[in-house]
Protein backbone atom coordinates (compact mmCIF):
# COMPACT_ATOMS: atom_id res chain seq x y z
CA UNK A 1 0.00 0.00 0.00
CA UNK A 2 1.55 3.35 -1.01
CA UNK A 3 2.46 5.92 1.62
CA UNK A 4 0.00 8.52 2.79
CA UNK A 5 1.17 11.83 1.28
CA UNK A 6 1.32 14.65 3.84
CA UNK A 7 0.08 17.86 2.20
CA UNK A 8 2.44 20.60 3.35
CA UNK A 9 0.76 23.19 1.14
CA UNK A 10 -2.62 22.74 2.85
CA UNK A 11 -1.07 22.82 6.32
CA UNK A 12 0.88 25.96 5.42
CA UNK A 13 -2.31 27.63 4.16
CA UNK A 14 -4.07 26.74 7.43
CA UNK A 15 -1.24 28.35 9.43
CA UNK A 16 -1.29 31.46 7.25
CA UNK A 17 -5.04 31.80 7.84
CA UNK A 18 -4.50 31.51 11.60
CA UNK A 19 -1.73 34.13 11.45
CA UNK A 20 -3.93 36.50 9.42
CA UNK A 21 -6.65 36.18 12.07
CA UNK A 22 -4.09 37.00 14.81
CA UNK A 23 -2.88 40.04 12.86
CA UNK A 24 -6.47 41.34 12.68
CA UNK A 25 -6.83 41.02 16.45
CA UNK A 26 -3.54 42.87 16.96
CA UNK A 27 -4.58 45.58 14.51
CA UNK A 28 -7.69 46.15 16.62
CA UNK A 29 -5.31 46.80 19.53
CA UNK A 30 -3.44 49.35 17.41
CA UNK A 31 -0.46 47.15 16.55
CA UNK A 32 0.66 45.86 13.16
CA UNK A 33 3.55 43.38 13.37
CA UNK A 34 6.45 44.36 11.12
CA UNK A 35 9.03 42.26 9.24
CA UNK A 36 12.22 43.61 7.62
CA UNK A 37 13.95 41.40 5.04
CA UNK A 38 17.55 42.20 4.11
CA UNK A 39 18.99 41.05 0.78
CA UNK A 40 22.60 41.64 -0.24
CA UNK A 41 23.57 41.32 -3.90
CA UNK A 42 21.69 39.58 -6.72
CA UNK A 43 21.61 35.86 -6.00
CA UNK A 44 18.66 34.68 -8.18
CA UNK A 45 17.49 32.02 -5.71
CA UNK A 46 17.68 34.48 -2.81
CA UNK A 47 15.70 37.07 -4.77
CA UNK A 48 12.95 34.49 -5.38
CA UNK A 49 12.85 33.56 -1.69
CA UNK A 50 12.71 37.19 -0.59
CA UNK A 51 9.89 38.02 -3.01
CA UNK A 52 7.96 35.06 -1.63
CA UNK A 53 8.47 36.22 1.96
CA UNK A 54 7.44 39.80 1.24
CA UNK A 55 4.36 38.63 -0.70
CA UNK A 56 3.35 36.26 2.11
CA UNK A 57 3.74 39.09 4.65
CA UNK A 58 1.35 41.27 2.66
CA UNK A 59 -1.16 38.44 2.29
CA UNK A 60 -1.46 37.89 6.06
CA UNK A 61 -1.53 41.64 6.82
CA UNK A 62 1.96 42.15 8.23
CA UNK A 63 3.86 45.35 7.63
CA UNK A 64 6.93 44.42 5.60
CA UNK A 65 9.88 46.19 4.08
CA UNK A 66 12.74 44.96 1.93
CA UNK A 67 16.26 46.33 2.12
CA UNK A 68 18.35 45.44 -0.95
CA UNK A 69 22.04 46.26 -0.67
CA UNK A 70 24.72 46.07 -3.39
CA UNK A 71 27.01 43.06 -3.85
CA UNK A 72 29.93 45.18 -2.61
CA UNK A 73 28.36 45.82 0.82
CA UNK A 74 30.82 45.49 3.72
CA UNK A 75 30.28 43.84 7.08
CA UNK A 76 30.29 47.28 8.74
CA UNK A 77 27.61 48.62 6.39
CA UNK A 78 25.36 45.61 6.97
CA UNK A 79 25.88 45.84 10.74
CA UNK A 80 24.84 49.50 10.64
CA UNK A 81 21.56 48.55 8.91
CA UNK A 82 20.89 45.72 11.40
CA UNK A 83 21.53 48.07 14.34
CA UNK A 84 19.06 50.58 12.88
CA UNK A 85 16.40 47.86 12.46
CA UNK A 86 17.06 46.67 16.03
CA UNK A 87 16.24 50.19 17.30
CA UNK A 88 13.02 50.63 15.31
CA UNK A 89 10.02 49.70 17.45
CA UNK A 90 7.70 49.06 14.49
CA UNK A 91 10.00 46.27 13.26
CA UNK A 92 9.31 43.03 15.15
CA UNK A 93 11.26 40.64 12.94
CA UNK A 94 14.56 40.91 11.08
CA UNK A 95 15.53 38.36 8.46
CA UNK A 96 18.95 38.53 6.79
CA UNK A 97 18.74 36.38 3.66
CA UNK A 98 21.60 33.89 3.32
CA UNK A 99 24.01 33.33 1.69
CA UNK A 100 25.81 36.66 2.04
CA UNK A 101 28.69 37.70 -0.26
CA UNK A 102 32.10 36.28 0.74
CA UNK A 103 33.47 39.58 2.07
CA UNK A 104 30.68 39.78 4.67
CA UNK A 105 31.16 38.07 8.05
CA UNK A 106 27.84 36.17 8.17
CA UNK A 107 28.23 34.98 11.76
CA UNK A 108 28.96 38.49 13.00
CA UNK A 109 25.89 39.85 11.20
CA UNK A 110 23.55 37.14 12.52
CA UNK A 111 24.90 37.65 16.04
CA UNK A 112 24.09 41.37 15.76
CA UNK A 113 20.35 40.76 15.24
CA UNK A 114 18.37 41.43 18.43
CA UNK A 115 17.35 37.93 19.68
CA UNK A 116 13.83 39.28 20.30
CA UNK A 117 13.60 40.07 16.55
CA UNK A 118 15.47 36.97 15.30
CA UNK A 119 12.58 35.40 13.37
CA UNK A 120 14.97 32.87 11.79
CA UNK A 121 15.75 31.51 15.28
CA UNK A 122 19.50 31.35 14.52
CA UNK A 123 20.83 33.52 17.37
CA UNK A 124 22.58 31.55 20.16
CA UNK A 125 20.15 33.06 22.67
CA UNK A 126 17.20 31.49 20.84
CA UNK A 127 19.11 28.23 20.36
CA UNK A 128 19.65 28.15 24.13
CA UNK A 129 15.99 28.90 24.83
CA UNK A 130 14.95 26.04 22.54
CA UNK A 131 17.38 23.58 24.13
CA UNK A 132 16.11 24.44 27.63
CA UNK A 133 12.41 24.46 26.62
CA UNK A 134 11.89 28.14 27.32
CA UNK A 135 9.78 30.49 25.15
CA UNK A 136 11.72 31.86 22.19
CA UNK A 137 11.86 31.99 18.41
CA UNK A 138 12.38 28.61 16.72
CA UNK A 139 13.97 28.09 13.27
CA UNK A 140 11.21 28.06 10.67
CA UNK A 141 11.89 24.83 8.78
CA UNK A 142 12.24 22.56 11.85
CA UNK A 143 9.17 24.22 13.38
CA UNK A 144 7.34 23.39 10.16
CA UNK A 145 8.39 19.74 10.43
CA UNK A 146 6.75 19.53 13.87
CA UNK A 147 3.59 21.24 12.60
CA UNK A 148 3.30 18.70 9.77
CA UNK A 149 3.55 15.83 12.25
CA UNK A 150 1.13 17.30 14.79
CA UNK A 151 -1.47 18.46 12.28
CA UNK A 152 -1.32 15.09 10.50
CA UNK A 153 -2.08 13.35 13.85
CA UNK A 154 1.23 11.49 13.80
CA UNK A 155 2.34 10.60 17.32
CA UNK A 156 5.74 11.92 18.41
CA UNK A 157 5.90 11.07 22.12
CA UNK A 158 7.55 7.70 22.76
CA UNK A 159 8.52 7.24 19.11
CA UNK A 160 12.04 6.59 17.86
CA UNK A 161 13.08 9.48 15.60
CA UNK A 162 16.19 9.67 13.42
CA UNK A 163 17.39 12.97 11.93
CA UNK A 164 19.80 12.67 9.00
CA UNK A 165 21.79 15.91 8.95
CA UNK A 166 23.33 18.01 11.74
CA UNK A 167 23.15 21.56 10.39
CA UNK A 168 22.52 24.45 12.79
CA UNK A 169 19.60 25.54 10.59
CA UNK A 170 17.65 22.26 10.30
CA UNK A 171 19.19 19.09 11.75
CA UNK A 172 20.10 20.20 15.27
CA UNK A 173 16.95 22.26 15.98
CA UNK A 174 14.74 19.53 14.50
CA UNK A 175 16.35 17.04 16.88
CA UNK A 176 15.79 19.38 19.84
CA UNK A 177 12.14 19.92 18.94
CA UNK A 178 11.58 16.17 18.67
CA UNK A 179 13.28 15.62 22.04
CA UNK A 180 11.09 18.35 23.55
CA UNK A 181 8.06 16.48 22.17
CA UNK A 182 9.25 13.33 24.01
CA UNK A 183 10.66 11.35 21.09
CA UNK A 184 13.85 9.30 21.46
CA UNK A 185 16.19 10.94 18.96
CA UNK A 186 19.31 9.89 17.05
CA UNK A 187 21.17 12.42 14.90
CA UNK A 188 23.08 10.99 11.93
CA UNK A 189 25.56 12.51 9.50
CA UNK A 190 28.17 11.63 6.86
CA UNK A 191 30.40 9.90 9.44
CA UNK A 192 27.65 7.66 10.86
CA UNK A 193 28.50 3.95 10.52
CA UNK A 194 25.85 1.77 8.88
CA UNK A 195 23.67 4.82 8.26
CA UNK A 196 20.96 2.78 6.56
CA UNK A 197 20.66 0.47 9.57
CA UNK A 198 20.35 3.37 12.04
CA UNK A 199 17.70 5.03 9.86
CA UNK A 200 15.78 1.79 9.56
CA UNK A 201 15.08 1.87 13.32
CA UNK A 202 13.10 5.10 12.98
CA UNK A 203 9.38 5.48 13.45
CA UNK A 204 9.93 9.08 12.27
CA UNK A 205 12.76 9.70 9.80
CA UNK A 206 13.73 13.31 9.00
CA UNK A 207 15.99 13.61 5.95
CA UNK A 208 17.93 16.89 5.87
CA UNK A 209 21.32 16.04 4.40
CA UNK A 210 21.17 17.88 1.05
CA UNK A 211 21.81 14.96 -1.31
CA UNK A 212 19.24 14.07 -3.96
CA UNK A 213 17.51 10.75 -3.35
CA UNK A 214 20.11 9.56 -0.84
CA UNK A 215 17.54 7.96 1.48
CA UNK A 216 16.42 4.84 -0.37
CA UNK A 217 13.83 2.23 0.59
CA UNK A 218 16.53 0.21 2.40
CA UNK A 219 16.80 3.08 4.93
CA UNK A 220 13.11 2.99 5.85
CA UNK A 221 11.27 0.76 8.27
CA UNK A 222 7.97 -0.36 6.69
CA UNK A 223 5.20 1.97 7.86
CA UNK A 224 7.53 4.72 9.11
CA UNK A 225 6.77 8.42 8.69
CA UNK A 226 9.37 10.08 6.44
CA UNK A 227 9.82 13.87 6.43
CA UNK A 228 11.86 15.02 3.43
CA UNK A 229 13.45 18.43 4.09
CA UNK A 230 15.70 18.29 1.02
CA UNK A 231 15.32 20.50 -2.04
CA UNK A 232 17.79 19.55 -4.76
CA UNK A 233 17.90 20.55 -8.42
CA UNK A 234 18.64 17.60 -10.69
CA UNK A 235 19.93 18.47 -14.18
CA UNK A 236 21.78 15.28 -15.19
CA UNK A 237 19.67 12.83 -17.28
CA UNK A 238 21.51 9.87 -15.72
CA UNK A 239 20.60 11.12 -12.23
CA UNK A 240 17.01 11.59 -13.35
CA UNK A 241 17.03 7.99 -14.61
CA UNK A 242 18.34 6.76 -11.22
CA UNK A 243 15.58 8.57 -9.36
CA UNK A 244 12.59 8.17 -11.64
CA UNK A 245 13.41 5.22 -13.89
CA UNK A 246 13.13 7.23 -17.06
CA UNK A 247 9.50 8.30 -16.68
CA UNK A 248 7.75 6.81 -19.69
CA UNK A 249 9.87 3.66 -19.52
CA UNK A 250 8.90 3.23 -15.89
CA UNK A 251 5.21 3.22 -16.75
CA UNK A 252 4.20 5.76 -14.10
CA UNK A 253 1.91 8.58 -15.27
CA UNK A 254 3.32 10.98 -12.66
CA UNK A 255 6.89 10.10 -13.66
CA UNK A 256 6.00 10.56 -17.34
CA UNK A 257 4.69 14.05 -16.54
CA UNK A 258 7.84 14.82 -14.57
CA UNK A 259 10.03 13.55 -17.41
CA UNK A 260 8.24 15.81 -19.91
CA UNK A 261 8.81 18.79 -17.62
CA UNK A 262 12.46 17.78 -17.13
CA UNK A 263 12.99 17.68 -20.89
CA UNK A 264 11.35 21.08 -21.33
CA UNK A 265 13.06 22.89 -18.41
CA UNK A 266 16.31 20.96 -18.15
CA UNK A 267 15.88 20.28 -14.44
CA UNK A 268 13.57 18.86 -11.81
CA UNK A 269 13.34 19.33 -8.05
CA UNK A 270 13.79 16.32 -5.79
CA UNK A 271 14.22 15.83 -2.08
CA UNK A 272 16.75 13.81 -0.10
CA UNK A 273 14.39 10.82 -0.22
CA UNK A 274 14.26 8.50 -3.24
CA UNK A 275 10.76 8.33 -4.78
CA UNK A 276 10.67 4.54 -4.26
CA UNK A 277 10.40 5.15 -0.49
CA UNK A 278 6.69 5.84 -1.09
CA UNK A 279 6.29 2.06 -1.55
CA UNK A 280 7.43 1.24 2.01
CA UNK A 281 6.75 4.32 4.16
CA UNK A 282 3.49 4.77 6.03
CA UNK A 283 3.48 8.54 5.45
CA UNK A 284 5.71 10.80 3.37
CA UNK A 285 6.11 14.50 2.56
CA UNK A 286 6.41 15.25 -1.16
CA UNK A 287 8.97 17.53 -2.85
CA UNK A 288 7.81 20.07 -3.81
CA UNK A 289 4.71 20.68 -1.69
CA UNK A 290 5.86 19.18 1.61
CA UNK A 291 8.11 20.96 4.10
CA UNK A 292 8.94 23.87 1.77
CA UNK A 293 5.65 25.79 2.08
CA UNK A 294 5.82 25.48 5.88
CA UNK A 295 9.07 27.48 6.06
CA UNK A 296 7.46 30.74 4.95
CA UNK A 297 4.27 30.05 6.93
CA UNK A 298 6.34 29.61 10.11
CA UNK A 299 8.22 32.84 9.33
CA UNK A 300 4.87 34.65 9.38
CA UNK A 301 4.00 32.85 12.63
CA UNK A 302 7.35 33.83 14.17
CA UNK A 303 6.89 37.49 13.25
CA UNK A 304 3.55 37.59 15.06
CA UNK A 305 5.05 35.66 17.99
CA UNK A 306 7.95 38.14 18.19
CA UNK A 307 5.48 41.04 18.20
CA UNK A 308 3.49 39.47 21.05
CA UNK A 309 6.58 38.75 23.11
CA UNK A 310 8.01 42.25 22.56
CA UNK A 311 4.77 44.22 22.88
CA UNK A 312 2.71 41.98 25.15
CA UNK A 313 2.69 44.45 28.05
CA UNK A 314 1.18 47.04 25.69
CA UNK A 315 -1.52 44.62 24.54
CA UNK A 316 -3.08 43.09 27.68
CA UNK A 317 -5.70 41.14 25.72
CA UNK A 318 -2.95 39.27 23.84
CA UNK A 319 -0.64 38.30 26.69
CA UNK A 320 -2.48 35.05 27.39
CA UNK A 321 -2.60 33.95 23.75
Given the residues 92, 97, 118, 228, select the one marked as catalytic: 97
Given the residues 114, 120, 203, 228, select the one marked as catalytic: 120
Is 97 tagged catalytic?
A: yes
Cβ count within 10 A of residue 282: 17
User: Which of 45, 130, 132, 34 is closest to 90 using CA atoms?
Assistant: 34
Rounded Cα–Cα distance for residues 185 and 162 (Å) = 6
Counting every residue, how long is the chain? Answer: 321
On whether the CB atoms of residues 222 and 280 are closer than 8 A, the answer is yes
Angle between helices 124-131 and 171-180 (to 10 degrees): 30
Is 133 tagged catalytic?
A: no
- The 93-96 sheet, strands edge to edge: 63-69, 34-40, 93-96
Is 53 tagged catalytic?
A: yes
User: Which of 86, 76, 136 is closest to 114 using CA atoms?
Assistant: 86
Rounded Cα–Cα distance for residues 172 and 169 (Å) = 7
Cβ count within 10 A of residue 294: 27
Residues that are catalytic: 53, 97, 120
Amino acid sequence: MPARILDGTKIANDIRSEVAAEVKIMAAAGVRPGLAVVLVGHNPASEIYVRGKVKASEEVGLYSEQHTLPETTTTAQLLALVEDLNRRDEIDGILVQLPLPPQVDSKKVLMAVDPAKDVDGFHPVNVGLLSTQRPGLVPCTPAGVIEILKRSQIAIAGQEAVVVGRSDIVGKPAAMLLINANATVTVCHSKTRDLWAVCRRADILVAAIGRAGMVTRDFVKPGATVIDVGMNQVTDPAEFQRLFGGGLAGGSASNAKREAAFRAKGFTLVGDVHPDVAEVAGALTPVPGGVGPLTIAMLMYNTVKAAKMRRGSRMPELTSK
